[in-house]
Structure 1
Amino acid sequence: FAASRRQENGADVHRYGVELTIDFPEIKPIDTQVRIDASWNHSHFSSDKLVYYYQNGWSHTSLPNRSYQYAGIYEGNAGVWNGRRTDNVDANLTTITHIPRARLIITCRVEAALLRSSQYTSSRAFTVDASSNAPTGGNIYDGQSYTAVYPVSYIDLDGNVHPWTDASAADPELSRLILRSGNIYTFAADGYDPYVSANLSVTKEIGDHVSLSFFANNFTNSRPYVKSYATGVSAIFTPNFYYGLTCRLKF
């Protein structure tokens, strides 16, 4: 088999969401404005495009020193999933304080990731046990089972395309075309607990044409580990604490 690649459009991704912004009345005794903004974003896709997949290194089932004689044709992806959905909820609290006599503007922004949720989906996958490709009839989304997928069809060395049938699944020569997940949590709902960081900016106006701004991002150095619901692996998503100074000229 010889690989051939071409550019084409991917699966349609459906996105929608809601945004909310609340500007509170100015707190006049301290010249402070408060704003809360939040958003929810959802996306999902499912691909039925056909993908040809051949595993290099497989040997012919009957002829020595020959490569495997079939390539699989799969729906959406050369793996057990062919879709994915995500949901994200973010919220921010911003305060802006003016000190007119000192010509200072102090801005503090707290950024919170309240929800991170994702899940792979499939229209063809089925559950299997650890040592067999036979369907077990379980739920692929329970996060407790290995999963597998049959090809839609397969192609032989003469270029003939054959549909996959129940008999194909029982044929030892074709068993390598059954793709398995490498773990039990491929289709488990994934996500992370909320995490927060805060940014600070202090701007000093000098005359009518110059302003200096000191900024400190994640100035509390909040960098918690949050654990994946699906895998149990922990990760850090907030940035390192860093700071700097900018100068703005107005002409």
Structure 2
Amino acid sequence: DNDKRGQNTVDGEFRKYQDQNISFSANGQWKLNRSWISNLEYQLGFTYGSQKNESSTYYSGTQQVTTYTAQAGEHAGVFLPPHYFSQLSVEGKPLSGDVSLTANHRKTMGENISNHFQLGLHAEVEGNRGKGISFDPLGPPLEMLRVRTRSYRDIPLLYKYSAFAENHFILRYGKMRTEVQAGVRFTQLPTKRLQRNSSVDPRINLSQIFIDRTDDVFLSRFSVRLGWGLMHKMPVLTYLYPDKSYTDMNCFTYNDAENNQRLTVMHTFITDRNFNSDLRLPVNQKFEIGVNFRIGGVTADVVWFKEHLKNGYCTSQLAEPFSYRRYSPLISKGEQPELTDEGVMNDGELLPYTLNTTFATYLSPQNGIKQEKQGIEYTIGPIHSKALRSSFYISGGYLDVCEKNTALSTLHPQIEVNGKAYPYVGIYETGPSVANTQIWQQLNSRFQCVTQIPRIGLITSLTLQAVWMDKQQRGMESRFNNPMYTDSNNQKCLNPVYYIDGEGNQHPFTPDMATDECFADLVIRANTTTAFLTDSYKPYFLLNLRVTKEIGRHVSVAFCANNLLQSNPKRYRQSIQKYAVVNPDLYYGAEISIRF
């Protein structure tokens, strides 16, 4: 991207993106036709990618000090130049593969009963062999200050094995039909990073078809279905193999430019507690009821569903105390300080210092998300128009989601007391947003018109997406009888549940501590008095277009334009007293497909 029109760009700045992928898949069937097995099916696939993002950014007036050591303790830091170009590279080489083998047994008993039993094995692998983030430590991007780079190759490949069984039973009687489909999947992660690395996911679907006719009648189909199942979610690689957390504190800085004598000393604290050995597999339970019918050649499908997620993944900020030296500064010119094993020396003497205690904060994966979701989805169509050579489809739904984060999180006030870091860390039922519950409600529709002109091999699809209702609201619910309250300035306040002292000990936080000057800074407040008001948007719309031209039997060219009318209306958010822009920006592109 060499666009020079940006007001803040200078010569030498650029951004470059590269993304290449190759994939292979194959499947087949071995027809055995035995009394105990009908056939064996196999499927295998592999995908490998090469992704590289490069950029050059100019920084001016930084004058900062930093360190990139991977060892704990005191080390000489780096003075950044006042003006420099920073070269950043992010290289990823993601790979994934899977293979499955399924045995099928089909049996028919007369004209009214049929059964299909499946038994299978499935294996997967995923990982990344790229170098990850890399840059020059002497000229780092400012967003990467004191960030330790880590090669993606250091993260082991993740393997997953599963076995499954499923049975599909069909019973016909008269004009009606009953279908029962039940199955179970057992999944195993061969890793010792989880206490429980296996899961069992059962499911069952019942379908009763009352009417299913092919002749031209007013009501040609009517059926009702029920479904229930469990699904566990596997953790991502960064949850299982997080990098260590590094915290750097400035101990001493001396910069005598006239005599070319300078020294900065940083204390690095390293912790590996960001790995959560108690991490469990989240499980989502889903129940649904659906109705399907066809009237006058138009099919309608309506389903009501309810889901309940337990132990969902999230990240929480934790804290650990540590102590470091803060040396007395040298003011005079011509000094020659040096870092030794004993500390910072000047003229053969150890500089005076004070021992400061602060806290290292780091992120750790937790099982804190509880989510309840319910809604209705519908699909109607196709509605044919011979005159327009078009088919019309209508779909949409209503969604109601309530999510709560039950994980405890820490917050260390970034203030000093008597020249030292604040001596306590609060443990809260929420993060800095002072909210642990969120509610979403949305009502939307999708109107699609597909027009086909076979004579010239042209297919157009015009889709209007409409959001009729969009509501969001945040809230706070306490499990420790620690409700939010309003102070004298009409601000929403929340006390911590516990606090941690400089020795790492945890203590309960009592209500009277909120007015104690030693602990009052641990009380967190909402940014505005309107933080918990409902954000309700007026309806907004989005128009997408896709045109496909068939060229012969094997080639097709397609053009797409999303948000064709560039509709990006602003909607006022009462909770933050600001406007938000809805809908994505105009996006267009083309693709060529070649089929053999």
TM-score by length of 1: 0.82
Q: Please report the RMSD computed on the Cα atoms of aligned residues, expressed in angstroms.
A: 2.2
Answer whether contact 1:74 1:150 (CA < 8 A) is retained: yes
Does 2:543 match 1:198? yes
- Judged with a 3 Å threshold, the aligned counterparts in structure 2 of structure 1 residues 146 and 36 are, in CA distance, closer, same or farther, namely same
- Judged with a 3 Å threshold, the aligned counterparts in structure 2 of structure 1 residues 242 and 180 are, in CA distance, closer, same or farther, namely closer
Q: What corresponds to 2:219 in structure 1? A: none
Q: What corresponds to 1:57 in structure 2? A: 415
Answer whether contact 2:371 2:401 (CA < 8 A) is retained: yes
Q: CA deviation at 1:232?
A: 4.0
Q: CA deviation at 1:100?
A: 2.4
User: Match of 1:10, SS?
Assistant: strand
Answer whether contact 2:370 2:406 (CA < 8 A) is retained: no
User: Match of 1:230, SS?
Assistant: coil
Q: CA deviation at 1:79?
A: 4.7
Answer whether contact 1:13 1:43 (CA < 8 A) is retained: yes
Answer whether contact 2:563 2:584 (CA < 8 A) is retained: yes
Q: What corresponds to 1:116 in structure 2? A: 470
Answer whether contact 2:413 2:522 (CA < 8 A) is retained: no
User: Match of 1:16, SS?
Assistant: strand
Q: How far apart, CA to CA, are the structure 2 residues paired with 1:49 and 1:216?
A: 42
Q: What corresponds to 1:125 in structure 2? A: 484
Does 2:585 match 1:240? yes
**Structure 2 counterpart of 1:128, one-letter code:** D
Answer whether contact 1:192 1:229 (CA < 8 A) is retained: no
Unaligned runs of 5+ in 2: 1-320, 322-358, 478-482
Q: What corresponds to 2:383 in structure 1? A: 25
Answer whether contact 1:110 1:198 (CA < 8 A) is retained: yes
Q: Could you say which structure has the greater relative contact order, defined with CA pairs below 8 angstroms and 6 or more residues apart?
A: 1
Among 436, 456, 468, the alignment partner of 1:82 is: 436
Q: CA deviation at 1:111?
A: 1.2
**Structure 2 counterpart of 1:22, one-letter code:** I
Answer whether contact 2:530 2:574 (CA < 8 A) is retained: no
- Judged with a 3 Å threshold, the aligned counterparts in structure 2 of structure 1 residues 51 and 238 are, in CA distance, closer, same or farther, namely closer
Answer whether contact 1:26 1:34 (CA < 8 A) is retained: yes
**Structure 2 counterpart of 1:91, one-letter code:** S
Q: How far apart, CA to CA, are the structure 2 residues paired with 1:170 and 1:230?
A: 27
Q: How far apart, CA to CA, are the structure 1 residues paired with 2:434 and 2:586?
A: 40
Q: How far apart, CA to CA, are the structure 1 residues paired with 2:549 and 2:469?
A: 36
**Structure 1 counterpart of 2:560, one-letter code:** F
Please identify runs of 4+ aligned residues in structure 1 that moved more than 4 A.
Answer: none
- Cα deviation 1:46-75 (Å, max 9, x = unaligned): 23332222113231xxxx333323221212
- Cα deviation 1:170-213 (Å, max 9, x = unaligned): 32222111111121121111132221121122222222112222
Among 398, 412, 426, the alignment partner of 1:72 is: 426
Does 2:540 match 1:183? no
- Judged with a 3 Å threshold, the aligned counterparts in structure 2 of structure 1 residues 242 and 152 are, in CA distance, closer, same or farther, namely closer
**Structure 1 counterpart of 2:389, one-letter code:** D
User: Match of 2:387, SS?
Assistant: helix
Among 15, 22, 41, the alignment partner of 2:373 is: 15
Q: CA deviation at 1:152?
A: 1.2
Q: What corresponds to 1:142 in structure 2? A: none
User: Match of 1:202, SS?
Assistant: strand
Q: CA deviation at 1:39?
A: 2.2
Does 2:449 match 1:92? no
Q: What fraction of aligned residue pairs are identical, expressed as a percent?
A: 30
Does 2:541 match 1:208? no
- Judged with a 3 Å threshold, the aligned counterparts in structure 2 of structure 1 residues 239 and 169 are, in CA distance, closer, same or farther, namely closer
Q: What corresponds to 2:575 in structure 1? A: 230
Q: CA deviation at 1:28?
A: 1.9
Q: What corresponds to 1:36 in structure 2? A: 394
Q: How far apart, CA to CA, are the structure 1 residues paired with 2:432 and 2:570?
A: 32
Q: How far apart, CA to CA, are the structure 2 residues paired with 1:205 and 1:79?
A: 52
- Cα deviation 1:10-67 (Å, max 9, x = unaligned): 32222332211111431122221100110222222223332222113231xxxx3333
Unaligned runs of 5+ in 1: 131-144
Answer whether contact 2:495 2:511 (CA < 8 A) is retained: no
Name which of structure 1's ranges 28-37 and 206-215 shifts more when overlaid on structure 2: 206-215
Matched pairs, number: 233
- Cα deviation 1:98-157 (Å, max 9, x = unaligned): 122222212111112222211111022112232xxxxxxxxxxxxxx4200011122333
- Judged with a 3 Å threshold, the aligned counterparts in structure 2 of structure 1 residues 186 and 207 are, in CA distance, closer, same or farther, namely same
Rg larger for? 2
Q: CA deviation at 1:78?
A: 4.4
- Judged with a 3 Å threshold, the aligned counterparts in structure 2 of structure 1 residues 48 and 246 are, in CA distance, closer, same or farther, namely closer
Does 2:348 match 1:3? no
Q: What corresponds to 1:149 in structure 2? A: 494
**Structure 1 counterpart of 2:514, one-letter code:** A
**Structure 2 counterpart of 1:77, one-letter code:** G
Q: How far apart, CA to CA, are the structure 2 residues paired with 1:160 and 1:244?
A: 58
User: Match of 2:564, SS?
Assistant: coil
Q: CA deviation at 1:4?
A: 5.3
> Would you tell me which structure has more helix in proportion to its own residues?
1
